[in-house]
Amino acid sequence: MKRSDLQHLRRLVAWVQCEIGQSPEELVATARNIADVLGNPPLDQSAQVRMVQAHDKARAVPKYVRAAVNALDRYARPPAAAPSATSAATWEPQFDCMTPGQEELVMEFCLEIAGRRGEPGRAPDPVRLLEMAQALYEVERAGSQQVEGESAGGTG
């Protein structure tokens, strides 16, 4: 497969993943986690309706479609990007925007979305949004590995 075809496949898989969203189980777990973080605030009627609609939409996606998308994602991902058991066990994103690199990226992304002075803004497409998230995760991972390396070296 040509490199350009592989890039198209990666973008297609990313777009489909955005369109089908999380599985019903993942959606429920995410909602519970968010509610816990926010202190379980009461939901108004419209929010409840939106959550039920999102769950119904997630249930409408056949399991074989989700399985096919996951298989294509594994196929399209470069071998170096495949998650390994050790890397998954040692690092998970903390969703903290604390590193200077992440703050710089966030400012860059905000300018891209809102538009630089005199330029019109534009909302990112699903693929660009995933690329932004990936960039933030990579900077966070690099920062956490740097901190681990410094703490492993000790103070001498």
Give domain status of residue 26, yes or no. Answer: no
Query: Does residue 65 form part of some domain?
Result: no
Residue 135 in domain = yes
Phi–psi pair at 155, nearest 5 degrees = -105, 130
Per-residue pLDDT of the chain (156 residues), as tens digits, is 787 888 888 888 888 888 888 888 888 888 888 888 888 888 889 988 998 998 999 999 988 888 888 888 887 776 665 554 444 445 666 665 567 788 888 888 888 888 888 788 888 877 787 778 888 888 887 776 665 566 555 554
CB count in 10 Å sphere of residue 102: 19
Are 87 and 24 in contact by the 8 Å Cβ rule? The answer is no
One-letter amino acid at 24 equals: P
- What is the chain's percent helix, strand, coil content, to nearest 5? 75, 0, 25
In a domain, 12, yes or no: no
* Residue whose C-alpha is closest to residue 144's, from 59, 87, 104: 87
Residue 105 lies in a domain: yes
Per the structure, the count of domains in the chain is: 1
In a domain, 88, yes or no: yes
In a domain, 111, yes or no: yes
Residue 74 maps to a domain: no
The amino acid present at 13, given as its one-letter code, is V
Distance (Å, whole) CA 16 – CA 75: 15
Range of the domain at 105: 84-156
